[in-house]
Structure 1
Amino acid sequence: MAEWKINGITIPVLCFDTIVVGSGCAGFNGADWLCSLGQKNVALVTEGRNLGTSRNTGSDKQTYYKLSLSGGGADSVEEMAETLYSGSGVDGETALAEAAGSVRSFMKLANLGVPFPTNRFGEYVGYKTDHDPRQRATSAGPLTSRFMTEKLEASLTKWEACGAAEVLDGWLAVRILKEKGRACGLLCVERKEQEKQDYGLRVLLADAVLWCSGGPAGLYEDSVYPLGHQGMTGIPMLAGAQGANLQEWQYGLASVKFRWNVSGTYQQALPRYVSVDKEGQEHEFLPEYFDSPEEALSAVFLKGYQWPFDIRKLPGSSVVDMLVYHQKYDLGRRVYLDFRKNPSGLEQGFEGLSQEARVYLEKSGAVGGTPYSRLEKMNPQAIELYRAHGIDLAEEMLEISVCAQHQNGGLRVDSDWQTTVPGLYAAGEAAGTFGIYRPGGSALNSTQVGSMRAAEHIVRRRRRKAGVAEEKSISAVCGLEEPVCPPAAVQVEEALNWLMNLGCSLAEKKSQEERQESSKKSPAELRRMLRREMSRYAAELRSLDEIRALKEQTCNMLNHLQDYADCSGSSPEHCFRLLDQLAAQTAVLSAMELSGERWSSRGSALVLESGGRVPCTGLESLAYAPERPDASNQRVLTRLEEQGAVSWTEEVRPVPERDQWFETVWADYRERME
């Protein structure tokens, strides 16, 4: 292990072929592919091997979206690519790559042992998911992504055993290091060592970095992301990576005590929607806003299929999300699902329901009893999931909110999943390959295809580089073989000085009274405040006036953090997390502002008319800007600059025409593989 001496502090330096950040489906898969393709020195950096969204989230039946592999229905790579492209704001090249890599990636998971079901002849029978014209969806149950993560981790463990890979567990990536504009490594904080004089800072150098940190989960208070997952979108954007469609999210109903989507059968069981005011009074509120209780129940049933909030489902199932928001934020109540008693509208049986709801429940044998008994009949695993986390749906109500669940945008990548910073790649939710609408489960396909394609491109470049005599090794480029100060060391020094200027120190914690006198807040307090304001004004209901004010506030904090943050008693980890959150939020708010100005309401965002928040006592009293003419061929791009964030629109490319003549493709393939 080499060392750099910076400001009198010795910082360890390690060298690798490639560094992968993140221990979810994308991270483990990317590292596994790199080793399979011949790299012998791969590092996987993770703040916690068992943390993250892939391992700790799911739904009643978590979906994996892939090319059809059963039955007689027609399907093709071209058709799947067009489906992904039709989600609006999606680049045709990445849509085609995700479709083309679908079967190869899916079969790897199946061969590793992920229990995707087949019929007795071996067909992977599918079902239709949202925005899916075929039956491409499959599932291994509520924990599909956990099974994927565990099997991919087991595969990488074999490479660990033979020395080709190393997992650096408990290491937080806090800065991307660059040489001549190209990513050449990371500055990390080793979390268990951050009380030492060197702040636990560690330098990792490599030819390429694959960023699989997940989405910016720490931006919202109302969030279904697992508590252990924060995301780090701001760090690569501070290094110059551009964002794509950062304004596009999925929001939906989720439980808050244990964070989990309440989609599918949780809604189809028809629970009561109850709010509780500050005096403890219960209100079954949905019937107040519909023409009849039965109409309200039909909307609840549709939430099972139509879980994400969507302005195109107004009026319709997305009214339910708005009314939950209204109960919580405008009336100050807590909102619950009650599976113990039947809701209003079932007093005379199920005949008053929509035909779709009634037929579904009849075929499922779930037309009697309580919501709990119906849920038990249709999906007993859904009940056991909550029981395993200390919540008995037969005995207590389930507190819910409208929560951020997935960012459809992310870092801008090309068809090899390389960002706008050469040598820096992004896969999984960190990559912005989706637009407004995407088929349910396509995010899991993207984790596998994106990380595979990034690994292939990294290895091809490394092979070409090895054949160029004048190319130096990463050790020489970054100064380990030369007595000069490399640019990467200067960047580390800048980060070290930043920590010192903030007064970051676990040993010098100020009292609450001292903080109040200075009006500064701790990093944790600032982060909570920022998350609360994002959920209030910049989630599924967006006020452009408030977004502009928030963006200005966030930008000021980002550029003058020492005026807002008191970092005494705070670890380097918390200081860097605050920096990441401020950078990501500034970029996201910039994209939201431009999108709202250009297109008004669309997708998951209901943009309020200027003047703000009208009390929601029914749909007709909520003043919002309707969706403007279609802009499906446009996406929003964002970059961070010294004074804040800048966003602009770009026309996406369609699914490309390509040569299908085998001999020509074979020749091109041989040339690319050399």
Structure 2
Amino acid sequence: MEKVSYKFLQYDTVVVGSGAAAYNAVDWLYDLGRRNIALLTEGIRMGTSRNTGSDKQTYYKLSVGFHENDSVYEMAQTLYDGEGVDGSVALAEAANSLRCFYKLANLGVDFPTDEFGVYTGYKTDHDPRQRATSAGPLTSRYMTEALERSVSKKNMPILNELLAFQIYEEDNEIRGIICLNKDKLSDNQLELVVVAANHVIWCTGGPSACYKNVVYPAGHTGMSGTLLDAGVRGVNLQEWQYGLASIKFRWNVSGTYQQVLPRYVSIDKDGVEREFLMDYMSKEEALNLVFLKGYQWPFDASKKDASSRIDLCVYEETAIKGRRVYLDFMNNPAGLEGGFECLSKEAHSYLLKSNALFGTPIERLKHMNPLAIDLYKSHSIDIEKEMLEISVCAQHHNGGILVDANWETSMKGLFAAGEAAGTFGVHRPGGSALNSTQVGSMRAAQHISYTSEEETPDPSLWKVSPDKLAKEIGNSLLSMIGEENNALTVREDLQNAMSCVAAQVRDIKGLSKLRENVEHYRIHFKSLVRVPNIRTLPILLKTYDMIVTQCAVLEAMEQSAALFGSRGSCLVKEEMGGYLPTKSHDKNLRLITRQENGRFTSLTEEVTPVPQKNDWFETIWAEHRTLRQSKQTQ
């Protein structure tokens, strides 16, 4: 019996993923009249949207607060000012933020209002106004579940347990995707599913597998390497967001977790415990910088002498000195022995207004945000009785796959939305990623629906038939099954190296050496990496995807270090010690990364500013009628 079998499916449009972006894409496609569509996912309960959050997970949108005076242009300009952000994409995210927000509210996501229905807001990082709102620690889960309920009522095909790992394209136009059927893996048989599609919306999340230290939920890896390996361009791949997070259960320790002023504790290999921040600064400075980490959670090179000093201290203790670091909520930190008068005006005022100038950190947290305690209890961690282990972790990829204002990639018919899409640059307002999941997936669905007729793809026109394609790929996979079984070891070694030299602190020599190592694995993957049996092929495929992504990311990091120095999410170590300064440029630049002659290369490109639009109603109305008429006649 043949060890490789294959199945063939045909849809006009396929959405890959099962998070907030993916569900929103298929929901919009259906509402726009498309029926020959399917959702394809490795696991319906997997993904970051469903399984992540923070103390108060933020959704960023245009402000509609009672006293706020905001505009689409101002929000777009805020996003654009993040550096490396395309102005047209920023405008689309701002212009459609309320439309997408109200859809979620109407689907049942419980964003808070006052008694008159006003959606009040608060200020988040890199936010000049109060555009942020939240449905609590699990905002993205509530979004995903609400969209899933909407989709389930429409009886659309959901192709579960399919791991999409290769793009089939012809002349830089999408033709289909090749998937491994995880549900049909056995000791002697593997089934590949070839899915023909005229349009694909890729919503696989960020490439979290790149690092060891991550906040991303266990099991989430992303699959950006699949697109990069197919020749799709990446943008700002060097730009990540890092911050303090718990590691036993992966969760950001931002917001009130910091504002209640926990004690920072380091424990060495001999079990010796000490409150270590005072090794680096005074007691008063430590208290006030810990407070600031509440809403300045992301590591920021420009704050290395301010709130981001806390991250650097934790990095020094863990990555350099090999110790373990904990947050202790049971006891007050040094400096509070004489009361709260030593706090800065900002910290003191915040705790005063919150009626929290009393007790221990856990008592303050119980008063201000009891859900933050319950969250850890639901994962068998009781911070009322035990310390919480933390580290500096990768939390979000601000770069990703290059898309235009319709979220179409550099490959025709292939779209990317959610964190897989590179719509952000050096920094972004907290919570803007959740808005991007909704706007990007909606824009992709609209563009597909408005510019094409729905039709079933014809694989008889392919240059390579689906059965031949499946057989060649299947046999290649079987050739990488052997006794050596090193795929997991290779993956973990490279992840450890990335967290050590290519995260918030980047070592130029280390980057270059690591890139050479990763490139060696990418080029010689088929001869170097093995899994023991057919059932472990998903590990093999994800390891390869990670390696491809790391190659592209490391290329962008090396180029960025030379071009920009230390900036945004990273400090770049100089060879003689210290950190490279930030190098200023007259132009707002982004970094484009692509494969060229079998190797990734990067080049800078000036981003377009936010378009200056004519908002005269009669003109817009006439343009709108003309556009609608042209779409109806297609």
Task: Give TM class, smaller chain.
Answer: over 0.9
Looking at structure 1, the residues matched to 315 and 438 of structure 2 have their Cα atoms a distance apart, in angstroms, of 35
Q: Does 1:281 align with 2:288?
A: no
Task: Please state how far the C-alpha of 1:118 moved relative to its aligned partner.
Answer: 0.9
Task: Please state how far the C-alpha of 1:90 moved relative to its aligned partner.
Answer: 0.4
Contact 1:177 1:491 in 2 (8 A): no
The equivalences for 1:397-436 within 5 A come to 397-436=387-426
Structure 2 residue corresponding to 1:599, chosen from 564, 570, 575: 564
Task: Please state how far the C-alpha of 1:630 moved relative to its aligned partner.
Answer: 4.2
Q: Does 1:250 align with 2:250?
A: no
Task: Please state how far the C-alpha of 1:574 moved relative to its aligned partner.
Answer: 1.4
Match of 2:545 in 1: 580
Query: Judging changes above 3 Å, is the alpha-carbon distance between structure 1 residues 145 and 298 closer, same or farther for their aligned structure 2 residues?
Result: same
Match of 1:655 in 2: 610
Q: Give the counterpart letter for 1:421 in structure 2.
A: M
- State the secondary structure of the residue aligned to 2:499: helix
The equivalences for 1:451-600 within 5 A come to 451-463=441-453, 474-476=456-458, 478-479=459-460, 486=464, 491-502=469-480, 504=481, 510=483, 515=484, 522-569=486-533, 571-600=536-565
Q: Give the counterpart letter for 2:473 in structure 1.
A: A
Structure 2 residue corresponding to 1:229, chosen from 220, 224, 231: 220
Contact 1:48 1:171 in 2 (8 A): yes
Looking at structure 1, the residues matched to 263 and 586 of structure 2 have their Cα atoms a distance apart, in angstroms, of 38
Match of 2:133 in 1: 138
Structure 2 residue corresponding to 1:110, chosen from 105, 113, 131: 105
Query: Judging changes above 3 Å, is the alpha-carbon distance between structure 1 residues 69 and 238 closer, same or farther for their aligned structure 2 residues?
Result: same
Task: Please state how far the C-alpha of 1:296 moved relative to its aligned partner.
Answer: 0.7
Q: Give the counterpart letter for 2:138 in structure 1.
A: L
Q: Does 1:664 align with 2:619?
A: yes
Q: Does 1:126 align with 2:121?
A: yes
- State the secondary structure of the residue aligned to 1:629: coil
TM-score of the two chains, using structure 1 as the length reference: 0.90
Task: Please state how far the C-alpha of 1:9 moved relative to its aligned partner.
Answer: 4.5
Q: Does 1:267 align with 2:245?
A: no
Looking at structure 1, the residues matched to 130 and 393 of structure 2 have their Cα atoms a distance apart, in angstroms, of 28
Match of 2:593 in 1: 638
Looking at structure 2, the residues matched to 254 and 417 of structure 1 have their Cα atoms a distance apart, in angstroms, of 31
Q: Give the counterpart letter for 2:544 in structure 1.
A: L
Q: Does 1:193 align with 2:158?
A: no
Q: Give the counterpart letter for 1:88 in structure 2.
A: E
- State the secondary structure of the residue aligned to 1:349: coil
Deviations 1:639-674 (A, max 9, x none): 124532111110000011233233433333334332
Contact 1:86 1:632 in 2 (8 A): no
Looking at structure 2, the residues matched to 402 and 322 of structure 1 have their Cα atoms a distance apart, in angstroms, of 9
Match of 2:295 in 1: 305
- State the secondary structure of the residue aligned to 1:321: helix
Contact 2:4 2:190 in 1 (8 A): no
Structure 1: 5+ residue runs without aligned partners? 467-472, 516-520, 615-622
Deviations 1:86-145 (A, max 9, x none): 111100000000011111111100110100011111111111111111111111011100
Q: Does 1:181 align with 2:172?
A: yes
Bigger mean CA offset, 643-652 vs 661-670: 661-670
Contact 1:173 1:187 in 2 (8 A): yes
- State the secondary structure of the residue aligned to 1:17: strand
Contact 2:403 2:416 in 1 (8 A): yes
Match of 2:9 in 1: 14
Query: Judging changes above 3 Å, is the alpha-carbon distance between structure 1 residues 490 and 412 closer, same or farther for their aligned structure 2 residues?
Result: farther
Match of 1:395 in 2: 385
Deviations 1:406-456 (A, max 9, x none): 000000000000000000000000000001111111110000000000001
Match of 1:469 in 2: none
Contact 1:555 1:643 in 2 (8 A): no
Task: Please state how far the C-alpha of 1:602 moved relative to its aligned partner.
Answer: 0.2
TM-score of the two chains, using structure 2 as the length reference: 0.96
Aligned residues: 628
- State the secondary structure of the residue aligned to 1:172: strand
Contact 2:109 2:135 in 1 (8 A): yes
Contact 1:67 1:136 in 2 (8 A): yes
Contact 1:179 1:487 in 2 (8 A): no
- State the secondary structure of the residue aligned to 1:159: coil
Match of 2:208 in 1: 217
What CA RMSD, in Å, does the superposition of the two structures yield over aligned residues?
Answer: 1.8
Looking at structure 1, the residues matched to 586 and 218 of structure 2 have their Cα atoms a distance apart, in angstroms, of 35
Task: Please state how far the C-alpha of 1:567 moved relative to its aligned partner.
Answer: 2.5
Query: Judging changes above 3 Å, is the alpha-carbon distance between structure 1 residues 10 and 566 closer, same or farther for their aligned structure 2 residues?
Result: closer
Match of 1:101 in 2: 96
Contact 2:53 2:138 in 1 (8 A): yes
Structure 2 residue corresponding to 1:79, chosen from 46, 63, 74: 74
- State the secondary structure of the residue aligned to 1:304: coil
Looking at structure 2, the residues matched to 237 and 487 of structure 1 have their Cα atoms a distance apart, in angstroms, of 23
Looking at structure 2, the residues matched to 231 and 305 of structure 1 have their Cα atoms a distance apart, in angstroms, of 27
Task: Please state how far the C-alpha of 1:490 moved relative to its aligned partner.
Answer: 5.3
Q: Give the counterpart letter for 1:579 in structure 2.
A: Y
Structure 2 residue corresponding to 1:337, chosen from 327, 331, 338: 327
Match of 2:39 in 1: 44
Query: Judging changes above 3 Å, is the alpha-carbon distance between structure 1 residues 346 and 252 closer, same or farther for their aligned structure 2 residues?
Result: same
Task: Please state how far the C-alpha of 1:196 moved relative to its aligned partner.
Answer: 6.4
Match of 1:25 in 2: 20
Contact 2:124 2:429 in 1 (8 A): yes
Aligned-residue sequence identity (percent) comes to 53
Contact 1:129 1:137 in 2 (8 A): yes
Query: Judging changes above 3 Å, is the alpha-carbon distance between structure 1 residues 45 and 607 closer, same or farther for their aligned structure 2 residues?
Result: same
Task: Please state how far the C-alpha of 1:535 moved relative to its aligned partner.
Answer: 0.3
Task: Please state how far the C-alpha of 1:154 moved relative to its aligned partner.
Answer: 0.2
Task: Please state how far the C-alpha of 1:596 moved relative to its aligned partner.
Answer: 0.4
Looking at structure 2, the residues matched to 375 and 72 of structure 1 have their Cα atoms a distance apart, in angstroms, of 29
Looking at structure 1, the residues matched to 65 and 539 of structure 2 have their Cα atoms a distance apart, in angstroms, of 49
Query: Judging changes above 3 Å, is the alpha-carbon distance between structure 1 residues 253 and 294 closer, same or farther for their aligned structure 2 residues?
Result: same
Looking at structure 2, the residues matched to 451 and 153 of structure 1 have their Cα atoms a distance apart, in angstroms, of 14
Match of 1:470 in 2: none
Q: Give the counterpart letter for 2:550 in structure 1.
A: Q
Bigger mean CA offset, 626-635 vs 42-51: 626-635
Structure 2: 5+ residue runs without aligned partners? none
Query: Judging changes above 3 Å, is the alpha-carbon distance between structure 1 residues 9 and 282 closer, same or farther for their aligned structure 2 residues?
Result: closer
Query: Judging changes above 3 Å, is the alpha-carbon distance between structure 1 residues 409 and 485 closer, same or farther for their aligned structure 2 residues?
Result: closer
Q: Give the counterpart letter for 2:183 in structure 1.
A: K
- State the secondary structure of the residue aligned to 2:270: coil
Looking at structure 2, the residues matched to 658 and 421 of structure 1 have their Cα atoms a distance apart, in angstroms, of 28
Looking at structure 1, the residues matched to 314 and 586 of structure 2 have their Cα atoms a distance apart, in angstroms, of 30
Query: Judging changes above 3 Å, is the alpha-carbon distance between structure 1 residues 558 and 19 closer, same or farther for their aligned structure 2 residues?
Result: same
Looking at structure 2, the residues matched to 320 and 73 of structure 1 have their Cα atoms a distance apart, in angstroms, of 33
Looking at structure 1, the residues matched to 465 and 284 of structure 2 have their Cα atoms a distance apart, in angstroms, of 67
Contact 1:411 1:432 in 2 (8 A): yes
Contact 1:178 1:488 in 2 (8 A): no
Q: Give the counterpart letter for 1:270 in structure 2.
A: L
Q: Give the counterpart letter for 1:182 in structure 2.
A: E
Task: Please state how far the C-alpha of 1:634 moved relative to its aligned partner.
Answer: 0.2
Match of 1:620 in 2: none
Task: Please state how far the C-alpha of 1:183 moved relative to its aligned partner.
Answer: 0.7
- State the secondary structure of the residue aligned to 1:207: strand
Task: Please state how far the C-alpha of 1:486 moved relative to its aligned partner.
Answer: 3.4
Looking at structure 2, the residues matched to 50 and 310 of structure 1 have their Cα atoms a distance apart, in angstroms, of 33
Contact 1:26 1:212 in 2 (8 A): yes
Task: Please state how far the C-alpha of 1:333 moved relative to its aligned partner.
Answer: 0.5
Query: Judging changes above 3 Å, is the alpha-carbon distance between structure 1 residues 311 and 8 closer, same or farther for their aligned structure 2 residues?
Result: closer
Looking at structure 2, the residues matched to 114 and 342 of structure 1 have their Cα atoms a distance apart, in angstroms, of 36
